[in-house]
Amino acid sequence: MSNSTFSEIAQALREHASFIIMSHVRPDGDAIGSQLALGHALEEMGKTVYYYNEDGLPENLAFLPHSERITQPQGEVLDVDVAIALDCANKPRLGDNALKAASQAKLWINMDHHKSNPGYGDLNYIDSGSPATGQILYDFITAEGLPLSEVTRDAIYVAVSTDTGSFQYSGTTVATYEMAADLVRRGLNVGEINAKTYDSHPYRRVELTRRLLNTLVMAEDGRIADWQLVYATKEELQLKPEDSEGLIDMIRAIEGVEVAVFFEELKDGTIRVSMRSKNPSIDVCEVAKLFGGGGHTLAAGIRAEGTLDGIRDAVLAELRKRVDAC
Amino acid sequence: MSNSTFSEIAQALREHASFIIMSHVRPDGDAIGSQLALGHALEEMGKTVYYYNEDGLPENLAFLPHSERITQPQGEVLDVDVAIALDCANKPRLGDNALKAASQAKLWINMDHHKSNPGYGDLNYIDSGSPATGQILYDFITAEGLPLSEVTRDAIYVAVSTDTGSFQYSGTTVATYEMAADLVRRGLNVGEINAKTYDSHPYRRVELTRRLLNTLVMAEDGRIADWQLVYATKEELQLKPEDSEGLIDMIRAIEGVEVAVFFEELKDGTIRVSMRSKNPSIDVCEVAKLFGGGGHTLAAGIRAEGTLDGIRDAVLAELRKRVDAC
């Protein structure tokens, strides 16, 4: 797969009238921000735009201007010219209902920063050197002179800020900071948008943190940390999927911890296990595979049938072996 | 007080041979980072530099290259030409022992971004439009062509990053992001330095968070949140002052909370109260003054004699009145 050029993609946008813009299931800031950023540029060009996300708009991103336009598909088929997939590594991750909604589109455009993206569009632009799809869209919109409204400006900032951990992760480049400088020059209110992005969470997230901390176990001289969440607690606190997002970082960041594990009971009784390693010699993907899961060396997951205690014992036993061996 | 020019300050640095560089007590990233940034530039110029901080180097900043040079004064007097105070709003905040160490200096240089700084140096450069003293030093060093070594580069980044909450607070400007871009261009390892700055804390900080959360009380329909820390817990966990830094943000950020309060028992039996308001009509400084404390409208503190329960009841009663009134 080789990339289309920005001008080929821009030409396709100019030539068509109606668009469905989608992103991956369980959307994060880069997914929603990218949808809004490009979608609003198209609207400013006089186009008809439908913003669809299989899982709808997460509550914590509802502060984004124009985000009320993000719709959850209900099985309908849209009469649109072009389908645009943003920040979505493969087509199935758009979700079944979103794919159905887009099924009549004559042209597919696929823009993403995930290395594994196979290029499932008619026009593709995959740049894994970019820390966020939002940054690719910034490059695209400024290079092609497309409208960069306040909606687009704020959406790009939130997309890139959230996907770089507020300009902290290793993918953050010179261009990332220069982009941020330019967005501020274009009138972005840094204090306000960051307060809305980071400085506000529902009480239930704090209560969830407390519950998790009360189950925290440190093992192997503090090299393994794990905590757990039973389904009854999720129900009691009426948790939403985004409430636990990133919480594992709190125990991963403990000095001396090499592996952090989050055991979670799901509604259907299966157990979800999220593992984070800080030591490349401890390959958590290897452990995940033993239980039918997968992922990367430093971040892997499992979804398995069984009791929380049973799976916890089995997974920790495998991790202990590996921690002891290095 | 009017500012000296950068070139007047640079000339004074060039003309002298030995320096003591200081910052404020209870130093944070901007204090230590600024000391190291300017100090190492001077060392690269062949100068003799003493790095003094009244409270020494906090453990969480010990990853900074060259930080082992930060010394805690023990009552000695240094034979140096110039005393430099960085990021320190007034002279007494340098600390008694640091002031004694600097007492023989013939010239005082004072560089800071705190608006309230009265200009207590012979040469002063106060820029309250800068979000961090580290950013003033970046402007100074690059404008005057002073050495910008790797030590200085990393120290500036950490100073500015920590004082802007990772480029999030309202003081963050176009120049701040452009500075970050330039530091990356100069070879800064973004991922590594941020992991060291933010992604690592001792277990005791997580345990402290758990203890605090277990005392969390939400009152007035979730508009007031408070938690508390007794001295016995501090002793049991062997807490250091920096361990509780920023934790109050967790409860301040709860949706609906207008005032967050942290009650803390100190070693001498007095009670320290930290209050944060998100509503400008609820002036926590007014409440602080009733108990002999002070601060700003949205952030104020008290240190008072009494029992934790007694002071908590009295302070919360005053806060409730104000919350109910608006």
Categorize the per-residue pLDDT at A245 as very low, low, confident or very high, splitting at 50, 70 and 90.
confident
Residue B276: CB atoms within 10 A of its CB come to 22
The predicted pLDDT at position B31 comes to: 98
Using a 10 angstrom Cβ sphere, with 0-12 exposed, 13-18 middle and 19 or more buried, the burial of residue B11 is: middle
Contact B194 A218 (CB under 8 A): no
Average pLDDT score, chain A: 96
Q: Which of B191, B210, B249 minimises the CB distance to A214?
A: B210
Using a 10 angstrom Cβ sphere, with 0-12 exposed, 13-18 middle and 19 or more buried, the burial of residue A48 is: middle
Residues in B touching A177 (Cβ below 8 Å):
177-178, 180-181, 184
Q: Which domains does chain B have, with CATH numbers?
A: 6-198 (3.90.1640.10), 206-324 (3.10.310.30)
How many angstroms away from the CA of A136 is the closest CA of chain B? 17
Contact B168 A194 (CB under 8 A): yes
Rounded distance, CA B248 to CA B8, Å?
Answer: 42
Q: Which of B170, B185, B194 minimises the CB distance to A191?
A: B170
Rounded distance, CA A136 to CA A130, Å?
Answer: 7
Residues in B touching A168 (Cβ below 8 Å):
166, 190-191, 194-195, 198
The predicted pLDDT at position B295 comes to: 84
| Percentage of chain A modeled with pLDDT above 90 | 93
Q: Can you list the alpha helix ranges (DSSP code H) found in chain A?
A: 6-15, 29-44, 96-101, 133-144, 150-163, 174-185, 190-198, 203-213, 231-237, 248-252, 284-290, 308-324
Contact B255 A200 (CB under 8 A): yes
The predicted pLDDT at position B242 comes to: 83
Residues in A touching B249 (Cβ below 8 Å):
199
Q: Mean pLDDT per segment of 10 residues, for chain B of length 326 residues? A: 94 98 96 98 98 96 97 97 97 97 98 94 96 98 98 98 94 97 98 93 97 98 97 96 89 96 95 94 95 90 96 98 94
Q: How far apart, in Å, are the Cα atoms of A93 and each of A25, A120, B142?
A: 6, 12, 48
Look at residue B240 and give its three-state secondary structure.
Answer: coil
Residue-wise pLDDT for A120-175, tens only, equals 999 999 999 999 999 999 999 999 999 999 999 999 999 999 999 999 999 999 99
How many angstroms away from the CA of B282 is the closest CA of chain A? 19
Q: Which of A199, A214, A254 minimises the CB distance to B203?
A: A254
Residue whose entry in the numeric block shows the structure tokens 């034979």: B79
ipTM: 0.90
Q: With a cut of 80, say whether residue A1 has pLDDT above it.
A: no
Rounded distance, CA A241 to CA A55, Å?
Answer: 10
Closest chain A residue to the Cα of B175, Cα to Cα = A181
Residue-wise pLDDT for A181-222, tens only, equals 999 999 999 999 999 999 889 999 999 999 999 999 999 999
Closest CA to A245 of A300, A208, A297: A208
Q: Which of A178, A203, A254 minimises the CB distance to B201?
A: A254
Residue-wise pLDDT for A12-61, tens only, equals 999 999 999 999 999 999 999 999 999 999 999 999 999 999 999 999 99
Contact A190 B167 (CB under 8 A): yes
Contact A185 B169 (CB under 8 A): no
Name residue B165's amino acid: G
Residue whose entry in the numeric block shows the structure tokens 């007494």: B92
Residues in A touching B167 (Cβ below 8 Å):
166-167, 180, 190
Contact B174 A165 (CB under 8 A): no
Name residue B220's amino acid: E
Q: Which of A166, A251, A254 minimises the CB distance to B168?
A: A166
How many angstroms away from the CA of B97 is the closest CA of chain A? 32
Residue-wise pLDDT for A246-278, tens only, equals 899 999 999 999 999 999 999 999 999 999 999
Contact B181 A178 (CB under 8 A): yes
For residue B46, the Cα-to-chain-centroid distance in whole angstroms is 29
Residue-wise pLDDT for A69-89, tens only, equals 999 999 999 999 999 999 999
How many angstroms away from the CA of B309 is the closest CA of chain A? 23
H-helix or E-strand spanning residue B144: helix B133-144
Residues in A touching B252 (Cβ below 8 Å):
199
How many angstroms away from the CA of A52 is the closest CA of chain B? 27
How many angstroms away from the CA of B96 is the closest CA of chain A? 34
Q: Across the beta sheet with B294-295, what order do the strands follow?
A: B217-219, B224-229, B259-265, B271-277, B299-304, B294-295
